[in-house]
Amino acid sequence: MRKRVIAALLTAALTAGVLTGCGEPKKRVNEDGESVITIWSPSDEPAIEEWWVEKIEAFNQAHEGTIELRREAIVRADSYAYEDKVNAAITSNDLPDILYVDGPNVSIYAANEVTLPLDDFFSEEEWSDFFDSSKQQNTYNGHIYAVGATESSVALYYNKDLLDAAGIDVPDSKEDAWTWSEYYDAAKKLTRDGVVGTNIIMDKGEGLSYVLGQFWISNGTDFVNQEGSSAEGYLNSQEGVEAAEFLNSLIRDGYANIDPIQKEFHNGKAATMLGGSWEVATLEKDYPDLNWGVTYFPVADENGILTSPTGDWAASVTKNVQDMDAVKEVMRFLFSEENVTTYAQAISKPPTRVSSYDVLTEYNEYPRSVFKEQLMETGHPRPRTPSYSVLTAEFAEAMLNIFTGVDPKEALDAAAAAMDKDYNKYYAKD
Amino acid sequence: MKKSINKISERRAAYIFILPAVVLLAAFLIYPSLQTVRYAFTDYNIMRPDRIVFCGLNNFTELLKDEDFWIAVKNTLYFTVLVVPFQTVLALALALLISSRRKGVSIFRAAYFSPQVTSMVVVAILWTVMYNSSPDSGLLNALLVKLGLEPCGFLNDPKTAMNSIIFMSAWQGAGYQMMIFLAGLQGISREQYEAASIDGAGKIQSFFYVTLPGLKSVIQYVVMITVIQAMKLFTQPYVMTKGGPQNSTRTLVYYIYEQGFQKRNFGYACAVAAVFFVIVISLSLGMKKIIKAE
Amino acid sequence: MTKRKTFEKFAFYFGNTLIALIFVSPLIWMISSSLKPESEIFKGLNSLSTFFPKGASLSNYIEVFQRINMWKFIGNSLFYVLVIIVLDLLVNSICGYALAKFEFRGKNLLLTLVISLMVFPAEAIMLPMYREMADLGWINSWASLIVPFVAKCFSIYMFRQFFLGIPDELLEAASIDGCGPVRTFFRVVMPISGTVYATIFILDFVAHWNDFMWPLLVVTGEEKRTIQLAIQTFFGSKPINYGPIMASLTISAIPMLIMFIFLQKYYVEGIASTGIKG
Helix C194-209 to helix C242-269 angle (10° resolution) is 170
Contacts of C140 in chain A (CB under 8 A): none
User: Nearest Cβ partner of A404 from B46, B157, B258?
Assistant: B157
Percent of chain B with pLDDT over 90: 36
Mean pLDDT for A314-331 is: 95
Query: CATH number of the domain that A205 lies in?
Result: 3.40.190.10
Looking at residue B291, what is its pLDDT? 66
- The rounded distance, in Å, linking the Cα atoms of B272 and B266 is 10
- Structure confidence by residue, pLDDT tens digits, A157-178: 999 999 999 999 999 899 999 9
| Averaged pLDDT, B203-214 | 84
Q: Which residue of A has its CA nearest to C223?
A: A72
Cis peptide before A367 (omega within 30 of 0): yes
Q: What average pLDDT does range A100-125 have in this prediction?
A: 95
DSSP-assigned beta bridge partners for residue A275: A155
How many whole angstroms separate alpha carbon A202 and alpha carbon B17?
Answer: 54
Q: Considering only alpha carbons, which residue of chain A is nearest residue B45?
A: A426
pLDDT at A212: 96
Reference B15, options A106, A319, C102; nearest CA is C102
- Predicted confidence at residue A43, as pLDDT, reads 85
- Same domain as A270, residue A143: no
C33 — phi, psi (to 5°)?
Answer: -65, -30
State the helix-helix crossing angle for B266-293 and B216-231, rounded to 10 degrees: 160
Answer whether A186's CB lies under 8 Å from A168's CB: yes
Task: Determine the Cα–Cα distance for residues A310 and A131; give it in Å rounded to an integer.
Answer: 11
**Are residues A324 and A403 located together in one domain of the fold?**
no
Mutate to test the interface with B, among A94, A397, A421 (most CBs of B within 10 A): A397
Indicate if the pLDDT at residue B91 is higher than 90: yes
Interface check for C272 against chain B (CB to CB < 8 A): the answer is yes
Whole-number Å distance between alpha carbons of B193 and B102: 17
DSSP H helix total and E strand total for chain C? 13, 0
Q: What is the pLDDT of residue A20?
A: 42
Query: Which member of C132, C164, C278 has the closest CB to residue B32?
Result: C132
Q: How many domains does chain A have?
A: 2
pLDDT exceeds 90 at position A119:
yes
Q: How many CB atoms lie within 10 A of CB A14?
A: 16
| Count of alpha carbons within 13 angstroms of residue A212, beta-carbon side | 29
Chain A residues within 8 A of C233 when measuring between CB atoms: 43, 73, 75-76
Q: Are A198 and A190 in contact (CB under 8 A)?
A: yes
8 Å CB contact of B189 and C171: no
Q: In this predicted structure, what is the pLDDT of residue B118? A: 82
Percent of chain A with pLDDT over 70: 94
Q: Are residues B1 and C147, on separate chains, in Cβ contact within 8 Å?
A: no
End-to-end Cα separation, chain A, in angstroms: 57
In the predicted model, is pLDDT for residue B265 greater than 50? yes
The letter for the amino acid at A138 is N
Strands A272-276 and A154-159: antiparallel
CA B168, CA B63: separation in Å to the nearest integer? Answer: 30
Cβ contacts of C270 on chain B, cutoff 8 Å: 186
Q: Is C46 on the interface with B (CB under 8 A)?
A: yes
CATH 1.10.3720.10 residue spans of chain B: 40-185+216-293
Cα of A243 vs its chain's centroid, Å? 22
Find the mean pLDDT for residues A311-325: 95
The reply to whether omega before C53 is within 30° of 0 (cis) is no
- Which amino acid, residue B253? V
Long-range contacts of A28-32 (CB under 8 A, 24+ apart): A28/A97, A28/A322, A28/A323, A30/A68, A32/A65, A32/A68
Q: Looking at B77-81, B113-117, B279-283, which range is the least confident one?
A: B279-283
What whole-number distance in Å separates Cα of residue B152 and Cα of residue B158? 11
pLDDT band of residue B2 (cuts 50, 70, 90) is very low
Asked whether C217 and A88 are in contact (CB, 8 A), the reply is: yes
Best of B263, B268, B270 to substitute, by most chain A Cβ atoms within 10 angstroms, is B263
DSSP state of C36: S
Are A34 and A69 within 8 A, CB to CB?
A: no
Average pLDDT over residues A394-409: 94
What are A130's strand-pairing partners?
Answer: A353
The total of other beta-carbon atoms located within 10 Å of residue A399's CB is: 27
Please give the pLDDT value at position C173: 86
A242 and A129 in one domain?
Answer: no
Mean pLDDT computed over A31-49? 90
∠ at Cα A367 (A261, A288), nearest 5°?
Answer: 55
pLDDT average, residue stretch A220-230: 94
User: B279: nearest CA in chain C?
Assistant: C119
pLDDT band at B180 (very low <50, low <70, confident <90, very high): confident
Residue at a domain's end among A292, A327, A348: A348
pLDDT at C121: 77
Q: What is the pLDDT of residue A10?
A: 52
Residues A74, A76, A77, A78, Cα dihedral to 10°: 160
pLDDT at residue B4 greater than cutoff 50: no
Q: What integer best gives the mean pLDDT of chain A?
A: 91
Q: Are strands A35-42 and A308-309 parallel, antiparallel or unpaired?
A: unpaired
Is the bond leading into A408 cis (omega within 30 degrees of zero)? no
- Checking if the pLDDT of B191 tops 70, the result is yes
* A106 and A255 within one domain: no
From first to last of its 278 residues, chain C has per-residue pLDDT tens of 578 888 888 888 998 999 999 898 888 888 998 998 888 888 777 677 778 887 788 999 998 898 888 999 999 999 999 999 999 999 999 999 999 999 898 998 999 888 888 877 777 788 899 889 988 989 889 999 999 999 999 899 989 988 888 888 888 888 888 888 888 899 889 988 888 899 899 989 988 998 888 998 898 878 899 998 888 888 776 777 888 889 999 999 999 988 988 887 776 554 443 334 33
C15: left (phi over 0), alpha (psi -120 to 50) or beta: alpha
Average pLDDT over residues B157-167: 92
- The closest alpha carbon to A53, from A70, A38, A78, belongs to A70
A11 pLDDT band, cuts 50/70/90, is low
pLDDT for B294 equals 53
The length of chain A, given as a count of residues:
430
Residues 6+ apart with CB under 8 A from B199: none
Identity at B282, one-letter amino acid code: S
**Same domain, yes or no, for A127 and A265?**
no
Judge residue A358's burial from the number of C-beta atoms within 10 Å of its C-beta, 0-12 exposed, 13-18 middle, 19 or more buried. Answer: exposed
Q: pLDDT at position A7, please? A: 53
Contact assessment for residue A223 and residue A212, using Cβ atoms and an 8 Å cutoff: no
- How confident is the model over B113-131, as a mean pLDDT? 81
* Helix ranges, A194-315 (H): 206-207, 213-218, 238-252, 279-286
CA A43 vs CA A318, A322, C140, C231: distances in Å: 19, 25, 17, 11
B75 CB-side CA count, 13 A:
31
Q: CA dihedral defined by C180, C182, C187, C188, rounded to 10 degrees? A: 80
Is the CB of A95 inside 8 Å of chain B's CB atoms?
no
> What is the second-level CATH architecture of the domain B40-185+216-293?
Orthogonal Bundle (1.10)
User: Residue C9 belongs to what H/E stretch?
Assistant: helix C2-34
Same domain, yes or no: A173 and A267? yes
Note down the domain range covering A75: 35-148+313-348
User: Is residue A332 situated within a structural domain?
Assistant: yes
Homologous superfamily of domain range C59-274: MetI-like (1.10.3720.10)
How many residue pairs bridge chain B and chain C with CB atoms within 8 Å of each other?
288
- Any chains having at least 3 CB pairs less than 8 A from chain A are B, C
DSSP state of B180: H
- Within 8 A of B175 by CB-CB distance, chain C residues are 23
How far is the CA of C24 from the CAs of B105, B179, C51, C152, in angstroms?
15, 16, 11, 29
Q: Work out the pLDDT band at A2, boundaries 50, 70, 90.
A: very low
Q: Is A225 found in the same domain as A168?
A: yes
10 Å CB burial of residue A23 (0-12, 13-18, 19+) is exposed
Distance from A241 to chain C by nearest Cα, in Å?
30
Calculate mean pLDDT across residues A219-231: 95
The pLDDT value recorded for residue B203 is 79
Pairing of strands A98-101, A67-74: unpaired
Backbone angles phi, psi at A98, to 5 degrees: -120, 130
% residues pLDDT > 90 (chain A): 77
pLDDT-based confidence at residue A152 (cuts at 50, 70, 90): very high
What span, in angstroms and rounded, lies between the C-alpha atoms of C185 and C179?
Answer: 9
Q: How far, in Å, CA of A148 to CA of A130, rounded?
A: 9
Q: Which residue has the higher pLDDT, B22 or C220?
A: B22
Quickly count: other Cβ atoms within 10 Å of residue B150's Cβ.
9
Q: What residue segments make up the domains of chain C, in order of their start?
A: 1-57, 59-274
Answer whether residue B48 shows pLDDT above 60.
yes
- A3 or A309: which carries more pLDDT confidence? A309
Which of A46, A81, A263 is the closest to C216 by Cβ?
A81
